[in-house]
Amino acid sequence: MAHDTGPKRGPSRRGILTGAGGVAALPLVAAAQPAAHPPAPGARPRMDITLTVNGRDHRVALDPRTTLLDALREHLDMTGSKKGCDHGQCGACTVHIDGRRVLACLTLAATVQGRKVTTIEGLARDGVLHPMQAAFIEHDAFQCGYCTPGQIMSAVACVQEGHANTDEKTREYMSGNLCRCAAYPKIVAAIRDAATKMARA
Amino acid sequence: MRPFHYEHAADRAQALSLAAASADTHYLAGGTTLVDLMKLDVMRPATVVDINALARDHSEIALDGDHLRLGALARMSDVAEHPAVRRDFPLIAQSLDLAASPQIRNMASLGGNVLQRTRCPYFRDTHWAACNKRKPGSGCAAMEGVNRKLAVLGVSDHCIANYPGDFATVLAALGATVDVEGAGGRRVIAFEDLHRLPGDTPHVETTLKPGELITGFSVPAGSWTRRSLYLKIRDRQSFEFALASAAVALDLEGGNVRTARIGLGGVAAKPWRSHEAEAALQGHRLDEASARAAADAAFAGATAHGQNAFRIELGKRTLVRALIQTAKLET
Ligand SMILES: Cc1cc2nc3c(=O)[nH]c(=O)nc-3n(C[C@H](O)[C@H](O)[C@H](O)COP(=O)(O)OP(=O)(O)OC[C@H]3O[C@@H](n4cnc5c(N)ncnc54)[C@H](O)[C@@H]3O)c2cc1C
Ligand code: SF4
Ligand code: FES
Ligand code: FES
């Protein structure tokens, strides 16, 4: 794909859906970064940076404006992290950087060099779901599923931080993840269950 | 978002020289204010200097004699969780715990936190032509518009925006100081002097000079800091800015107030210390009546603009409740 300087893969589901696998690669880039403003005088249009995502290094040439979320979704074809609000208000884009949960939509990709990013795609081990992923399925903790990757990334960190030992605490420390389908009771149940399993593991 | 130059500063000296090299530079810490407002085209820096590497030297959280030292690059979550902060400055931990979301608290630095911008809807939306803060001289759409959450204290005829942050309210109440470094060297500013009232220049929000870097904060401990509370009232239970908040620290002797430190959040144009409420309580027995008198003194100069009128009474009740609860704390 024209915009991807990362390792070549087979056609992705997203590539086929958007038509970017063949003829229409450019609109995808344009949609991610509207060229509404001319470059600042002397601004470097591209920076070569290395992103370490789920244990793999990816070299990409990015406009400095690119957020980590757009880098993941538009340049690395990792569309698990979702764009809900793009302004820090919903948590759909939650990923881990050096083991801490953060928002990819307010993180400039350039600031992430040399740090370890974990996304929802990196949670499963050898094809086995993370206990949190399994618990979300078991407890039916979603409806449309759009908020779910962010919920799960946030929930894993919430348990690791020690903020999921009561339901009340879980609700408070999961308040950065909104669910428009209001699956909240089942999300809390899934986290309660997964917390026990994570403690045993 | 407009294009900008991205620069990475390895240390403080490099950050300062990069900032001095070009006008219109902004430092980037957690980015939770800056990136948000750059996306909205409200902030338009020509150069962004990433200062996160400065965390190596400027993220301390330490009790140094009778002062709490907080580095500008310390993250909100780390400060909130720190045992010494929780024990000796409960209101600091609470003001951070009750702010934003866990993800944002992991990203956001204390320096960026105190410099967060108002959430005035007209400031954040460039479709509105009139906003003196965003575009000096253009007017103020909020005066007769949606101003339910805007300020009642410290406002002017040019701007009624509120300062939205929680932590800064506590720093103002406790008489903290700010360490600043710029081309002209280092200086220490009283926290209360960091932010300016809007007056007729609401676009000038602080007394920092261009390129000046906040390196840290120093908060004096006192006989009042342990008996302290941050109470935040909001539209929803979590992940929401304050409609009204109160930062209270008390030194009591047999129920009488020896020292009171009082900050008000959400309701004022800048991080607000109420010297009036402190003076009203000094030497008095703390009860409902004296708490109410202090609250009346705190809001004596308040000005409402329609929708936000209810927040004068809400602010008073918030302070009364915070005072009564703080007096009951076991220390
Ligand atoms: C959805 C949402 C909800 C929020 N809710 C709350 C809330 O309830 N309560 C609350 O208090 N806050 C809240 N916030 C605000 C949040 O706390 C601030 O955005 C954050 O603390 C800013 O810190 P930062 O490190 O990300 O700053 P940045 O965005 O990196 O910087 C902010 C500004 O400060 C400047 N700056 C940063 N560091 C320095 C320095 N050391 N010296 C000089 N200048 C510097 C930057 O140039 C920029 O202009 C919320 C934010 C969001 C997005
Ligand atoms: S209150 Fe201040 S920030 Fe809001 S529209 Fe008026 S001038 Fe702008
Ligand atoms: S997309 Fe990042 S918080 Fe909503
Ligand atoms: S499952 Fe639909 S938004 Fe959460």
> pLDDT exceeding 90 applies to what percent of chain A?
76
Look up the CATH number of the domain holding residue A174.
1.10.150.120
Does A158 fall in a domain? yes
Structure token pair of residue B10: 């390895």
Residues A132, A117 share a domain: no
Asked whether residue A5 carries a pLDDT value surpassing 50, the answer given is no
- CA separation for the pair A94, A119 (Å, rounded): 8
Nearest CA in chain B to A86: B36
C-alpha dist (Å) from residue B138 to B135, B158, B304: 6, 10, 21
Q: Which residues of A touch B10 (CB under 8 A)?
A: none
Are both A154 and A178 inside the same structural domain?
yes
Residues A131 and A197 in one domain: yes
The ligand minimizing its distance to the Cα of A92 is: 3
Question: What's the A68 CA to ligand 3 centre distance in angstroms?
Answer: 11
Residues A94 and A114 in one domain: yes
Domain boundary among A122, A150, A184: A122
Q: Determine the pLDDT at residue B23.
A: 85
Reported confidence tier of residue A9, pLDDT bands at 50, 70, 90: very low
At residue A40 the predicted structure's pLDDT band, cuts being 50, 70 and 90, is low
- A32, part of any domain: no
Please report whether residue A36 resides in a domain. Answer: no
- The answer to whether residue B328 scores a pLDDT higher than 80 is yes
If asked whether residues A112 and A145 sit together in one domain, one would say no
Interface of B with A in 293-312 (CB under 8 A): none
Half-sphere exposure of A112 (CA within 13 A, CB side): 35
Output the pTM of the full model.
0.94
Q: How confident is the model at residue A41 (pLDDT cuts 50, 70, 90)?
A: low
Burial of A135 from C-beta contacts in 10 A (0-12 / 13-18 / 19+) = buried
Question: What is the average per-residue pLDDT within B244-254?
Answer: 97
In chain B, % of residues over pLDDT 90: 98
Which residue from B minimizes the CA distance to A113? B8
Cβ partners under 8 Å of residue A190, min gap 6:
A132, A135, A136, A138, A139, A141, A155
The pLDDT value recorded for residue B331 is 81
**Residue B130 has what pLDDT?**
98
Between CA B108 and CA B239 the distance in angstroms is 14
- Kind and range of the H or E run holding B320: helix B310-328
Across all residues in chain B, what is the average pLDDT?
A: 97
CA atoms within 13 Å, Cβ hemisphere of B82 = 23
Q: Which residue has 């990013």 as its token pair? A: A117
B98 interfacial to chain A (CB closer than 8 Å): no
Domain limits, chain B:
1-56, 58-331
The bridge status of strand A100-103 relative to strand A94-97 is: antiparallel
Architecture of domain B58-331: 2-Layer Sandwich (3.30)
Within this chain, do residues A74 and A140 fall inside the same structural domain, yes or no?
no
CATH of domain B1-56: 3.30.43.10
Give the H or E element holding residue B61. Answer: strand B61-64
Q: Which bound ligand lies closest to the C-alpha atom of A146? A: 4
Q: Which of A92, A122, A152 marks a domain boundary?
A: A122
Nearest CA to ligand 1 atom 31: B112
The reply to whether A134 and A118 lie within a common domain is: no
Residue B139, SS3 per DSSP: coil
| Residue A26 within any structural domain of the chain | no
Confidence (pLDDT) at A43: 57
Which of A98, A122, A146 is the last residue in one of the domains?
A122
Q: What is the CATH number of the domain that holds A101?
A: 3.10.20.30
Find all residues with CB under 8 Å of B12, minimum gap 6, and list them.
B54, B57, B58, B181, B213, B215
Domain extent for A81: 46-122
The percent of residues above 70 in pLDDT, for chain A, comes to 78
Same domain, A99 and A172: no
Cross-sheet strand order for the sheet of B256-265: B228-233, B244-253, B256-265, B272-273
Residue A39's pLDDT band (cuts 50, 70, 90):
low
A112 with A158, same domain: the answer is no
8 Å CB contact of B2 and A40: yes
Round to whole Å and give the CA distance between B270 and A59: 44
Q: Which of A30-34, B25-29, B92-96 has the lowest mean pLDDT?
A: A30-34
Same domain, A100 and A136: no
Q: Is the pLDDT of residue A3 over 90?
A: no
ipTM: 0.97
- Apex CA B159: angle with CA B153 and CA B160, to 5°? 35
Assigned domain for A33 exists: no
Count how many domains chain A has: 2
